[in-house]
Amino acid sequence: MNAWVGYAALIGLFTVTAAIGFYGLRISRTTEDFYVASRTVRPWWNASAIGGEYLSAASFLGVAGLILISGSDALWFPIGYTAGYLMLLLFVAAPLRRSGAYTIPDFTEARLESVTARRVTSVLVVMVGWFYIVPQLHGAALTMSIATGLPSWVGSVAVAVVVCVTVVMGGMKSITFVQAFQFWLKFTAIALPIVFILIIMGNSGLTVPAVAEPFAADPAASPTAGTYRDISLVVALLFGTLGLPHVLVRFYTNPDGPSARRTTLIVIGLLSVFYLFPTVYGVLGRAFTPDIATGGTPDALVLLLPGRLVPGLAGDVLTALVIAGAFAAFLSTTSGLVVSIAGVISQDVLGGRVRGFRVAAVFSTLVPLLVALLTDSMQLAGSVGLVFAFTASTLCPLLLLGIWWRGLTDAGAIAGMLAGAALCGGAIVAGRALGPLAGPFQVLLAQPAAWTVPAAFAVMVGVSLLTRGRRPAGITRIMTRLHAPERPQPAPTR
């Protein structure tokens, strides 16, 4: 890959991102601008921004890489990512918007009338956000080294600096414009090369050969283990989506509950179309470039395939577009996560003012950057899948039971979140540490959501039933606010 292609793509992307961020500085003035964009973001804009931050390194690079090495087994990732939004539409979107909170900890305190429950939620939101940022920085490191030949750490630092500057300048209102632009850039960057490749293949008479399973699963592996792994992954992706803080904070920016539902419907449509293209990349990679997998860099398939199949200047242009799209994925997801983490830290620790938000944004960027620089990258989709499992075991039970069950108490919520965090976090750490030494328990540790999510729900419900006397005094008023239809806003008078 020519280094000038990578440099041109990155300079162009960073320039446009900085320009949009500067525009956000001009229109972001109030505290509500920084936290929830003054609750004025319309469905199409918000859906584009959600697509921008949700389609992370795992979606843009990782899904195709997993299909390259695992075949159809990897299709559970795009299915789960998209179906998770259907769960979000059915159970969370509108009630969460009606809660009137700025952040998930705000919702927790309002629903449970407990400062302690809020603090536990705040810690978990920050942990989830940091765990999710690290794979984005690893993806940036991989892309930078392939695109330009520079040391990989330059990619992580570049993303961290651009995100920090953008968030500090304009907060949520600025990030909304940036992420909406970055979504459509990602969509174009992943779709256009594939369309171009398929046109060339059609005109030249080249067809995709019947692809054997060059990277088939171990024939000695238990079919039961494979079934469990798939079920656990789907549980993690479906329920984990409900608790992602950078996605949930977006629903606070809608003007009302119906707008939140329309936003979610649009997002489902956008995701459904987007995930067709990484799947095609994976199929073409298995057919024409299996050496990318055997070379140990399957996550680089999307970056390398256009240059392999399209010769000359056209291939260089398509490669530059893909590089820009990949960095747009890292930037947009990291931006959304930093906004959500900074909102929590500034609200709970720094007084909730704009200055506190900016300080928190810098801190929220530096911590995962240090972790990324000191750790090695896993497969991107796999590492993000573990974050989904952790979120599904902690924040998801709180939101579902908090919205739909009057009986949830602060003691139950705290116990359930801590139990889910301990079980899922412990399983992930033990699985990485023990590896094959875990024997028959290896698959349970590698994909823990199938048992940690029910355990978290059970603990939350059980402790709440044992502490009925701790139910909030204003529970009827709270539940009415979450579920009663909103009154239409009167038209402005001149």
Residues 34-53 have pLDDT tens digits of 555 555 667 787 888 888 88
> pLDDT at position 420, please?
96
What average pLDDT does the structure give for the chain? 83
Helices marked H in 205-256 — which ranges? Answer: 223-241, 245-248
* Dihedral sign (CA 130, 270, 397, 97): positive
- Which tokens is 433 given? 């540490």
| pLDDT the model gives residue 210 | 55
- In the block, tokens 């990989």 appear at 152
Position 60 scores a pLDDT of 87
At 171 the pLDDT is 58
Ramachandran bin of 58, using left for φ above 0, alpha for ψ from -120 to 50, beta for the remaining angles? alpha
Q: What is the rounded distance in angstroms from the CA atom of residue 154 to the CA atom of residue 93?
A: 38
Low-confidence stretches of the chain (pLDDT beneath 70): 1-2, 21-41, 102, 170-174, 205-225, 251-252, 254, 256-257, 295-296, 377-379, 381, 486-494
Give CA–CA dist 238/243, Å, rounded.
Answer: 10
pTM, entire model: 0.85
